[in-house]
Structure 1
């Protein structure tokens, strides 16, 4: 039995340089504009049998704007960044440079008092592995870019350090096909084409 899970990265809520850890801000105007420009490619994904989203305002708004009517999944929340929540990477670095270096170097480190990168990837993988596995079933999940990166690291069984080498742009898609513990990355020519 194989399941097809397509992740859609949420539209932006700020410029890339102003992105904050666990950012709960809604879509900004640039994000709304991006959704309108990408809608014709992403709307076909609404045909998925199951439609989910991260519980963030921008993920919900992205999914709703695309007509997915997604169900928020607490397990798809962003990484718990503890006391760095709401900070940019630059702000955290200015306050605690050694702690940020340790966090970037060690996937099990939690200098911020929150969730380690390893635990985050494992949590997202656990969500992926518990999706109903009807053969040929399709799922779409609108999520924060970090959630999409974590899902790809898990699906590919890559080392956690790979997380830092995956660039997920707003409204990009990534599809994994498979079942519990056995996932494959699938690259398609267009978002709605099987």
Structure 2
């Protein structure tokens, strides 16, 4: 079975403006407007055979704004940031500069007491690799996800080293499409 999985980054919320770890704030007014303006570009995703989203409020709201009516997937949650959850990068770097350096340098490190970057990328890859196929020749799947999830999926699909994660820049409402099957993905950029 050949799968086609489109991952769409959620519209912006205030949390994207102040970069908080694992923040679950809703879309802000600008995010709602951006999502509504994106309907002509991404509205076709509502026709996907399977429609998912990260469990955050902003992902669910983006999916609803686009008419997807997505099902929240716990496996598509952001990386577990432990005690750093809800804090900004700047706050954590000011209080725990050595821990931040370790976290950025070692993909297996968990100085925050949560999930390592390596484990996070594998979790997202496992979700990709276990998607069910549909009845047809190609099974279209859509998921509205946090930017961090989209980054992890790109790294996994490309079989790139984990530190590549820090080199993937994801903007609100940007998308990638993965085609293939478990362990054999091709990455396409959407526009």
Q: TM-score category by the smaller chain?
A: over 0.9
Deviations 1:52-74 (A, max 9, x none): 00000000000011000000000
**Are the equivalent residues in 2 in contact too, given 1:133–1:179 (CA < 8 A)?**
no
Instruction: Determine the structure 2 residue equivalent to 1:100.
Output: 100
Instruction: Determine the structure 2 residue equivalent to 1:50.
Output: 50
**Alpha-carbon distance in 1 for matches of 2:49, 2:158:** 24
Instruction: Determine the structure 1 residue equivalent to 2:156.
Output: 154
Structure 1 SS opposite 2:122: helix
Q: Out of 134, 142, 147, which is 1:145 matched to? A: 147
Measured after TM superposition, the shift of residue 133 of structure 1 is 2.9
Q: Given the two structures, how large is their TM-score scaled by the length of structure 2?
A: 0.96
Q: Which consecutive segments of 4 or more residues in structure 1 shift more than 3 A? A: none
Deviations 1:81-130 (A, max 9, x none): 00000011111101100000000000000000000000000000000000
**Alpha-carbon distance in 2 for matches of 1:14, 1:48:** 29
For structure 1, list consecutive stretches of 5 or more residues without a partner in the other structure: none
For structure 2, list consecutive stretches of 5 or more residues without a partner in the other structure: none
Report the count of equivalent residues.
Answer: 189
**Alpha-carbon distance in 2 for matches of 1:16, 1:81:** 16
**Are the equivalent residues in 2 in contact too, given 1:11–1:27 (CA < 8 A)?**
yes
**Are the equivalent residues in 1 in contact too, given 2:150–2:170 (CA < 8 A)?**
yes
